[in-house]
Structure 1
Amino acid sequence: MAAFNLTPADPSTFILIGIPGLEAAHIWVSIPFSVFYIIGLLGNFMLLFVVGKEQTLHKPMYLLICMLALTDIGMSTCVVPKALCIFWFNLRDITLVGCFTQTFFLYMVSAMSSAVLVMMAFDRYVAICNPLRYTTILTNARIAKLGFVGLMRAVLFILPEPLLLSWLPFCANQMIPNTYCDHITVAKISCGDITINKIYGLLIAFVVIGFDLTLIALSYSLIIRAVLRISSKKAHPKALNTCTAHICVILISYSSCLFSSLTQRFGQGIAPHVHIILANVYFIIPPMLNPIIYGVKIKEFREKVGKYTCRI
């Protein structure tokens, strides 16, 4: 039992418990964590490598896929290495500064990922609804500017969360029942009033996710309307097929994010370890699946990947 000593040696540190109730099974839990993380890293780095090497892929759509790959690497890396340190070596301590920094980068990258999905929806809208003007509307420089705007939005929206946490008083309880520093979970162990934290957390969730989903839904409603206007019915599946990879990524990303967020805030009857596992799923599964989806669905990218893998 000494291995599970949860008493902090330093009052300026938190203790990450890991997955409450499954401490004895941490080694087994670490297996899917590490496997999914490695697959995600390999897939996303392969994607970045292929797009970087192939001049023919230096197009807006592939630049957006690279942005998504970078956010996927960032999201999973913010969570998994520390979780594995807990599972394998029982290294549970994290400083207050480290905890607040992790919270900021984790949710900043998540907000950036959501912005990239919106830009991808806009890319598909222009490609289908204004194909003749695609190269003039969406240039690489414009994609870079949109990416910068998305990054600034993410930083400005998420920065108040660690600041609000830093203003809270933390008394005797310094144990965080999670594998990472989640904003609401950290706020709940405070001995101060966390009303503002709860309100701001929900506000950001609804503003960022709600606004982005609205823009994506608008883009696809216009895409569907444009496709239905095409006289040739044989062209309908071909036109929509260019969107399938993006739709799959949207469903995986937002469904896991919303389910995790809602169960954490309103699923009072759900066991704590289920909460934690669902929270981690959002940061592990989409980064692993996204490069696989694009590799399978996009023929041009699949051919380029095959070209390099055959050389190995």
Structure 2
Amino acid sequence: MTEHPKSTAPVAAAAATGQNDHAVLVRDLVVRAENSRGSAELLHGVSVRVGAGTMHGLVGETGSGKSITASAVMGLLPKGVTVESGSILLGDRELVGAGDKELHDLRGPRFGMIFQNPRTALHPMHAVGKQMDRVLRTHLSLGKKERAERVLHYLNLVGIPDASRIARAFPHELSGGLAQRVVIATALLCDPTFLIADEPTTGLDATVQRQILELISRLQHELGLSVLMITHDLSIVAQYCDTVTVMLHGSVVEDGPVRRVLREPEAEYTRNLLQASTLSHVTRRVRAAA
């Protein structure tokens, strides 16, 4: 039997007291998929709060609803999948019911996404710099020289050596780690305040995974970003996140500060995740933070 959350309390409390120091506030979100064979509810009243300037972990196994939640926030739900009810606030701006143009205009300047597979996020037929330039032309009124300088600045910011050469390169010429750094640079091009990182280290070797996570953490602190980190790995949450939401079968089963959730999990599923994770790493992180 699916556990139901006790964890919506922080979201409800924030709403009740009028607190609005959130980057994104998802409340009671219901998402449904429909096709010729019928319909199915994918998210069952999901509530998630990402505090301003914090990193919030969204954790669960494959199929738990993490990516659907992120796609709903971005306004990028697949065909046949719609928000049935609930609210998604970006600051004080309601996204549920927003039109395609409004959402398109917000992506880039207000929020961005780091996809789990940079190979599919980047167009294989266009050089990196050309793709980044197109993002700038879409969202910002800058001259050609200013755009070129901005592209190089953000490639440098994410730690890419020889940024001019990489700007001329095609995605297939890049390693997985370099390609993901390009995706991160592209997500930051228009100075958004909120980023979704959807399993950003998938397919990378362990050393590169750590480098990418350290990069996202550094940028989050240096730029004052709010980040929703989607992962199935509680050791990542323990090391990098301030707060966490645990999902199972389209519902929230636990939510709260990372220290409390990992030290005193209320949900059986969270306890199972802890046991299945790199437990020695999680335990060490939690004890160090205590």
So what's the TM-score if we normalise by structure 2?
0.26
So what's the TM-score if we normalise by structure 1?
0.24
Of structures 1 and 2, the larger Rg is shown by: 1
